[in-house]
Chains A and B, each alone.
Chain A
């Protein structure tokens, strides 16, 4: 857990460090430590698929804390064929913009690029992400994470990683 520069006020630097830490934990598949970054009432959402004629889209991921723990369990279970072998990945987070806290949480917008390798193939993904972060124990925690993949409307092969 990163600690804040000044008690009670997260700076842009604190937020960027936190997002970099999150990315590194996912890259190294340190899922338990990654889960520890989330609040108990967290929401993780990744919309997908093209919109209907009325503008509605599906979610590739729409997890509360319980389902997120199940997802992590499956991601690391030897019987999950999609992670046998597991992918290797590097995430680069940048363009971090922090909206001031509304008293409860602050909102961070960032861009990220993800390069994934598995079974001799390399794939590149790009996304815009929004984190709603709360201050907790002198650090930050994720209350909401929403990821918008630039390829989210397209037909996708298995996402063998957490976007």
Chain B
């Protein structure tokens, strides 16, 4: 283990190069601490979906980097408070989710309303005339913005507006995920898979190269049922890997799935109870965008830097716990206004594939743990991310695409990582006080 000073002297530029990355950034405690400060507490991160707190007083507890927060539906809308009493610092909420009229500290009884205003201090005569309750409300996450119900927050002044941070290509894919609902809203109300693996958070990228090897047993299962292997990740597959900039990326199967695949998907929905009406509502709302919207919504495979993915039917939230510990929260989403049969199938499909007993995710986590073991061999520390470097296509807006098995996404994420880890920060960036 090396000190932060040693890293600074060496320079992150030496550790993260165009075609290779040093394993130190996956194993080093000092690098992890700086990632938390600069990436997870230095710019936008995803924190919750508005539909998780539908009623006033509904809350969920989350983290912005190392900072525990409460995301609550208040009179004023969705608020993000630091989960810490302003008196002696006690955590106010310990449950993952709930509903409350007030946050009352169990230690000395200080009480806050859902907006974070301090509304009660027991035995107030003990405080002098200069004690101003209005100044002692819960510390709010100072920057909170939402896009299509996805709530992002930042502890420090963010580098741009949320809309600009995401950019048009990311927003377009998020739109498709949400617009498969006939009223244009998803609901995050079906529970959550919480899984943990003993490995670094940056392994949870977008990778089209691993499927046929890591998930070999899925193809074996297909063979057992007389079905062909998964076509998306073959060497001749038409899919594309996208680096959208800002570390955002996508594994794009639009080309493979258009036409026959999507026709089959629509036919299957039509055969479900309520399906024809649902499709008619979608068509009147989306017109000729319906087929692509449905196709994309069934697996957007979008990565929003640094901690959000839309994968299959779920929202995936990545929470780094240490250089070698990561928690993944996977929330299956429902389509508001869609038939029960459609939503039940979404949840059943999600439950089958993801979570600690799923058919897919555990093999990923097993391999992430083996990756962490392998990186202990640091004599030759280089991880190679060169695949596809000579066949990438740069688009006029700066986005880069390449074959679906290429490491364009890894390079894009590493470029963003380096930018955030080396960016010179302004004096006004840090949380006030």
Contact = CB atoms under 8 A, between A and B. Distances in A.
Interface of A: 46, 48-54, 56-62, 67, 70-71, 73-74, 77, 79-82, 153-160, 163
Interface of B: 52-55, 58-60, 95-99, 189-198, 214, 216-217, 220-221, 224, 327, 332, 347-348, 350-352, 355-357, 359, 362-363, 365-367
A158 B332 contact: no
A52 B97 contact: yes
Given A53-B97, A73-B221, A157-B197, A60 B357 contact: yes
A51 B197 contact: no
B367 A77 contact: no
The winner among B55, B96, B357, B363 for most chain A CB atoms within 10 A is B357
B356 A158 contact: yes
A62 B365 CA distance: 21
A73 B217 CA distance: 9
Contacts of B58: 53
B195 A53 contact: no
Given A58-B332, A79-B216, A53 B52 contact: yes
12 contacts: A48-B194, A49-B355, A58-B332, A61-B357, A62-B348, A77-B221, A79-B220, A80-B217, A81-B217, A81-B363, A81-B367, A159-B356
B96 to A, nearest CB: 4
A158 B193 contact: no
Contacts of A57: 191
Nearest to B216: A79
Given A52-B190, A60-B193, A160-B362, 10 more contacts: A48-B193, A48-B357, A50-B191, A53-B59, A73-B224, A81-B217, A82-B363, A155-B194, A156-B195, A157-B195
Contact of A56 (B53, B60, B189, B327): B189
Contacts of A74: 217, 220-221, 359
A160 B210 CA distance: 21
A60 B355 contact: yes
Contacts of A163: 357
Contacts of B214: 81
B72 to A, nearest CB: 10
A146 to B, nearest CB: 14
Most A C-beta atoms less than 10 A away, residue of B53, B55, B194: B194
A80 B363 contact: yes
B97 A58 contact: no
A74 B193 CA distance: 20
B192 A49 contact: yes
Given A60-B356, A67-B352, A160-B362, A50 B96 contact: yes
By Cβ-Cβ distance, the 7 closest A-B pairs, closest first, are A58-B191, A79-B216, A50-B96, A155-B194, A158-B362, A53-B58, A156-B356
Contacts of B99: 53
A74 B353 CA distance: 12
B194 A81 contact: no
B196 A155 contact: yes
B114 to A, nearest CB: 13
A53 B194 contact: no
Contacts of A59: 351
Contacts of A54: 54, 189
A98 to B, nearest CB: 28
A58 B363 contact: no
A71 B402 CA distance: 35
A50 B351 contact: no
Nearest to A158: B362
A135 B288 CA distance: 56
